[in-house]
Amino acid sequence: TTAPGPTTRHFTLNFTLSNLPYMTDLEEPSSPRFNSTVRVLNYYMDHLFKQSSISSVYTGCTAMRFRSERDRHHTGVDIVCSYNSNSSLATFDREKVYHELSSMTKGVTKLGHYSLETNSLYVNG
């Protein structure tokens, strides 16, 4: 018999960008601002995960939603990421991923040209 193939699994990331004021066009997936912000965040997330402990199974992230934080002064971000999992791989360790992302974002303060609100990062397995 053959071992079952990999299964795609998902996890979510949530964080707040403190140098991106929230604007209503970030609610519209068809808006240029929404699409350009998604492209930039996806690029940054790919860069981080390709250097992480899950790099060999990581398959991608997509920013899904933006929300108003602190009376529109900041923008909250919801991202869905995926990875391939099978019985020969260790289980997804959200705490380990959180600590790696925290370290790679300089203590949850910097993501590329974005500033992160400290203590705003959540990883849900």
What are the residue ranges spanned by the domains of the chain? 8-124
pTM: 0.89
> What's the CATH number for 8-124?
3.30.70.960
Helix residue ranges, H only, 1-125: 32-49, 94-104
- The candidate with the shortest Cα–Cα distance to 26, out of 57, 56, 60, 64, is 64
The pLDDT profile of the chain, 125 residues, written as one tens digit per residue, is 566 667 899 999 999 999 999 999 999 999 999 999 999 999 999 999 999 989 988 999 999 999 999 888 999 999 999 999 875 556 678 999 999 999 999 999 999 999 999 999 999 95
Residue 101, classed as helix, strand or coil, is helix
The pLDDT value given to residue 71:
86
The pLDDT value given to residue 93:
87
